Amino acid sequence: MIELGSINNPRAAQGFIDFIKSKGLHGELRSQDGQTVIICVAPEHFHQAQPLWQEFAANPHDEKYQQASWQVGSTQSPLSYQGQSLNLKARFKALSWLNRTVTLVSIAIFVAFLLGGFETIYSMLQFNPAQPLTWFTPAIVHFSAIHLIFNLIWWMTLGNDIEKRSGKLTLVGLFLVTAFISNWAQFLLVGPNFGGLSGVVYGLLGFCWIYSAMRPSEPPLVSNSIVGFMLVWLILGFVDMLPVSMANWAHLAGLLAGMAYAVSDKLLSRTQSRK
């Protein structure tokens, strides 16, 4: 075996090994203390693995290494993961301006609600067909901490994956389209009293689902089990079996809009490739 390099983060090192395994390359980890890890590869794979190692060394917390561990990684490891930082601050800073802005603004609005500004702020952000800006603003309004946290986790995770696979403009377009369609659907079918990023989240889910289905040779953006869970959640909302009130039509419209966006994205890429 030939040494590629070393790192003092066993969790990240395991992610890299799982990533190169997904590429058909053979590698292994060696460590004397369970903390500092040496990454080695088979001699015949060294030249292929070297640029991958350089890319990993520049950004060891890229989500693709974690995804590789889910796909091919082993749950058994002699390395000690205790005491390793999750590097949440670095991961958040690595997100795009749109991802961070939507996250921070949503949190700020919810905090402002708690501090007594609900009536004033919500009256400005509530859906109003006569005010075009409010066709989008309900997406950043949340009425409970659980709703906020649930939506932001999905928004940051799926949004980041979409940007890395399809580009930043795709996430911008998805946010605008799914927020617009989901908010209008909820307003027309129920009324103006709603809020939350759920319609957009379901739009991202729909995009990831169809995007991956149309590109079977690529690693999936989202697993079938997650898609199944979210669809069951959507159905439970419609049959009123959940303990909280849900903007069900916003969820469904967002999902369909995201799926349609993925189809149009694929058709557009085919058209451009023929030119």
Per the annotation, the verdict on 45 as an active-site residue is no
Residue type, 264: S
Count the neighbouring beta carbons within 10 Å of the beta carbon of residue 75: 5
How far is Cα of residue 2 from the mean position of the Cα atoms in its chain? Answer: 35
Q: Which of 106, 198, 269, 273 is catalytic?
A: 198
Per the annotation, the verdict on 85 as an active-site residue is no
Buried-state track 200-212, b at ≥16 Cβ within 10 A, e below 16? bbbbbbbbbbbbb
Residue 203's alpha-carbon distances to 144, 158, 241, 257, in angstroms, are: 21, 10, 22, 6
Residue 41 phi/psi, 5° resolution? Answer: -135, 160
**What's the CA dihedral at 157, 219, 169, 150 to 10 degrees?**
-20
Residue 106 burial (10 A CB sphere; 0-12, 13-18, 19+): buried
Q: Which of 251, 264, 269, 273 is catalytic?
A: 251
Q: Residues near 275 by Cβ (< 8 Å), separated by ≥ 6?
A: none
Residue positions annotated with a catalytic role: 198, 251
